[in-house]
Amino acid sequence: MKRGDPRAALLALAVIAGVALLDQLTPPDADFGEFYIVGVVVAAWFLGWGVGVSFALLATVVRLAIDANGGEFGASSLGIFLWNALSEFLVFGVVAFATDRVYIERERWRSVDVERRTMLRLLEQELPRPLRAADWFARTFEDAAGGSLSESVRTQFAALRRHTREGLFLAMDLLAVGHLRGLHFELQPVALNQLVIEAAADTLDRTRVLLSLTGDDLMTLADADRLRHAISSVLSRCLDLSPYEQVAVLTRASGAEAAVEIASRSRAIERSEIELAALLVEGNRGRLVIVPRAANRGSLVTIYVPRVTASSVPGSDAIAEQRTAR
């Protein structure tokens, strides 16, 4: 039933009539005042606060008429009768107004959410285009020029490519945060070692990333792009905190989980600094654990994700070969 449907008035009338019948048939000591509110709420929710207040008045009159018919009020208690009538009406009226406001706020936030999803969808399509075009221009021009470029020009092109990657990474961060609550994670078998290699290659200072990958063919169920994004985010933050030292990355099996350990040796990392990575890991049905070390010795960040054995995944060898080819 939608807002404005006239059947809501019939439903509200039926509720008030049913409560009134029970109120009439039961002893005066039984209080049915709260149940009249149901009819008022139905009217206010589907027909607005004005109609809700009208039904509040109707419920008040019906309820007090039944009380008066039962002899609860005598001629000497007219003032009490009127006071109860006013109190009942005020309570029912406030409930009707509050119900209408809740409905309006609910619809407003629904509209905002639709606009947000539309805007994020447009940004996801349009925002990366100019950044990728700038990166393509820099690479194409530099390759075409060959060895004729001076060292200063090469440095400028390298900075352009670096800033382009930073801008694209930030754009993906913003889009991931915006989409996360309603995001669908496509969990598929992926080779964890290859994923870590790709994440390290995405960082700006990959030469300071020291990889120590397990010899086992660790396979995990994950959304490859988003798990790679999470690992790359943690790596980048650790590199920022350790500007003159290497960042060690280790992969290992941990029972039914596969683990990626990333160690920084500078300031301890805070969870708020890698909150996006934590959310992406949780979306992959994993968990992110931060273990602080001694003072000024950095932190150990471990990403745990569900593990599957290669023999239990049909075509897992082909999947690993395809990812290596990329």
- Please report the pLDDT score of residue 107 as a whole number: 86
Q: Which one, of 39, 32, 34, lies nearest residue 15 by Cα?
A: 39
pLDDT (average), residues 67-87:
68
pLDDT (average), residues 299-318:
70
The dihedral built from the CA positions of residue 191, 197, 200 and 201, taken in this order, carries a sign that is negative
Region of 223 on the Ramachandran plot (φ > 0 left; ψ -120 to 50 alpha; else beta): beta
Question: Model-level pTM?
Answer: 0.50
The predicted-structure confidence for 144-181, as pLDDT tens digits, reads as follows 777 677 777 777 777 777 677 767 766 766 666 665 54
Distances (CA, A) of 53 to 2, 60, 62, 71, 103: 19, 10, 14, 27, 15
- Please report the pLDDT score of residue 52 as a whole number: 87
291 within 8 A of 300, measured Cβ to Cβ: yes
Domains and CATH numbers, the chain: 7-118 (no CATH), 127-182 (no CATH), 188-325 (3.30.565.10)
Q: Is 301 helix (H, G, I), strand (E, B) or coil?
A: strand
The predicted-structure confidence for 183-242, as pLDDT tens digits, reads as follows 567 888 999 999 999 888 877 677 888 999 987 778 998 988 888 888 988 888 888 887
